[in-house]
Chains A and B, each alone.
Chain A
Amino acid sequence: MNGPLLGGRGATSIATAQRSGTDGGAAWLPGSLVWRVAVLSVVVVFIQISVVSEIPVFGVSVDLTPLLVAFIGLLCGSTLGAVAGFCVGLLVDLALMQTLGVTSLTFTIIGYWAGRLRELRDPQAALTPLFVGAVAASAAMVGYSVIEFLLGVDAPVSLELLREIVVGVLLDTVVALPMWALVRRCLVGALPDDPRRRRRRAYTTGGLSPLSQGRGGAR
């Protein structure tokens, strides 16, 4: 059965591909998946900037962009996660007239980390998106802060700043599940077929058993 995390096609494609030596690299990624990721990224960035950022909750706005990058990594693997993170970060920096490279650097690492989590651990728990969303939001905010400090903004850590970071992370965690559902719905149709499903189909239609195919597919 497919795990509750993906709930559809592509449930363990990345993890299985990793084990069989093909990895979640960009070489075998279908073009439709790349297009969907690109369109989704542009739409989410525009919605974030035009709507979401103008709705403060407890004085802080929800930031959907780190969640988007983390969930792309979680679904598509580390390479596409990192590339999507870089592109989304660059788009955000360009659109908001921010220092170019700050968001790109942070989001590249977030996308890569989420992809590696998928490839190495293949988490199946239903609450995994919450955990990933919280970590991504924390990493984005702490990442901004660290880079700003390194760039010379003389800002000691204050209670107000910590409060904003904590509230921001909590808000992002709250919206992580709906955001995960949206990203999954948009991308799951273009993800490579679930190898377990393919094995099961082959076995029931007279093909190789999962055991023999597993041996054959192993490195």
Chain B
Amino acid sequence: MYEKTVRRRRAVLALLVVLSLILLTAYFGEAPSGGLHSVQRGFLTVVSPIQDGANKALKPVRDLFGWFGSTLKAKSQNAELRKQLDKLRSQYTANQENEHSYRELVKLFHLDHELSIADYNPVTATVVYQSPNIWYSIITIDRGSSSGVRVNDPVIADEALVGKVTEVVPDAAQVSLITDSAVEVTAKISATGAVGLVQPQVGEPGRLLMQIYQSSTAAPVQGDYVVTSGTVASPGVSLYPKGIPIGQVTSVNEQGGFKSVAVSPLADLRSLEFVQVLTYSSGSRAASLNNVAATLTPTHQPDREEESQGQGGQLAQTGGGG
């Protein structure tokens, strides 16, 4: 009897472990359109209304805990922000003057037809799921294809880039954050204009690394802002609108003539509550630019990549009329 029970117990364990390994191997090996991915999307479709309801019902609890955390955080940030405010106030005055001159010049040379966030249709969505696992930088939002959300649409929060849409069902969508290994963004340093690719910093959850293409540009310094460049440099990446802030430079490294900077994201990716998905309607300029980007990048990949790197990734541009 005892032997039989032991055998049964071990058989159950072995069966479950083997089943997990089969699932893991099959899921990892199949394409995103495969059966297991479809099951996952179907599950998300079914449970997304429940998630949404639970999220709204439990919001007061979350807010209560969030209030304590935010109060403590706000107190510690208060003094530091006051110092920054004093410094920025003087910079702002100088920048206003520069901005005026810049606008005059842009008008003079007929360059004032770049796309901005307003040219996309921002769809506000509530974050209903956030992975607690540091290995997965994904969130689930309560807006899907029925609201015009599509795969690869850029997602912003607090005016800063947070990621892109990677899966869509009618009433929900999965967003991979910029700290996810599946996401890369062509960006530039606003102060120097140096273009590069922003990717997650390996082994540093929540941090980004920007590889700078051009070695000849002025060296970035700590505190410089990194913004989207409005270009695509490799296949399958999103065409993010130009000038969306991504983060701030925290350190600069140089190896073999190539510069890379560590970037701290501007958006608080661990406590996102609302985000905006930048969608576009068919026939709009944003849509046509996305189509151009999609048709250009997958062909002649090796040459294209070299070319794009040489030219700072200027394959398709959301500025300057595309």
Contact = CB atoms under 8 A, between A and B. Distances in A.
Interface of A: 21-27, 46-57, 59-63, 78-79, 82-83, 85-86, 89-90, 94-102, 104-105, 108-109, 112, 141, 144-145, 147-148, 151, 153-158, 160-161, 164-165, 168, 219
Given A25-B5, A98-B136, A108-B13, A156 B23 contact: no
B181 A97 contact: no
Contact of B271 (A48, A54, A95, A151): A54
Interface in B292-317: none
Nearest to B200: A155
28 contacts: A22-B1, A23-B2, A27-B8, A46-B54, A49-B132, A52-B132, A55-B69, A59-B206, A61-B130, A79-B8, A82-B16, A86-B16, A94-B39, A95-B47, A97-B140, A98-B136, A100-B23, A100-B27, A100-B40, A101-B21, A101-B24, A104-B23, A105-B20, A105-B21, A144-B133, A155-B203, A164-B134, A219-B1
Interface string B91-128: 00000000000000000000000000000000000011
A105 to B, nearest CB: 4
Contact of B5 (A22, A52, A101, A144): A22
Contact of A101 (B6, B27, B273): B27
B17 A55 contact: no
B270 A56 contact: yes
A63 B6 CA distance: 32
Contacts, number: 171
Instruction: Tell me if B's interface is mostly helix, strand, loop or mixed.
Output: helix
B135 interface: yes
Contacts of B285: none
Interface stretch (B58-66, B75-83, B212-220, B229-237): B58-66
A16 to B, nearest CB: 13
A160 B201 CA distance: 11
Nearest to B1: A21
Contacts of B25: 101
B36 interface: yes
A13 to B, nearest CB: 15
B129 A95 contact: yes
A149 to B, nearest CB: 10
Contacts of B174: 97
A72 to B, nearest CB: 14
Contacts of B6: 23
A96 B204 contact: no
B207 to A, nearest CB: 7
Interface in B194-211: 202-207
The 5 closest A-B pairs by CB, nearest first: A101-B24, A101-B23, A105-B20, A158-B203, A53-B132
A141 B136 CA distance: 12
A14 to B, nearest CB: 12
A115 to B, nearest CB: 9
Interface string B28-58: 1000000010011001100100110011001
B316 to A, nearest CB: 29
Nearest to B174: A97
B239 interface: no
The residue among B2, B24, B28 with the most chain A CB atoms within 10 A of its own CB is: B24
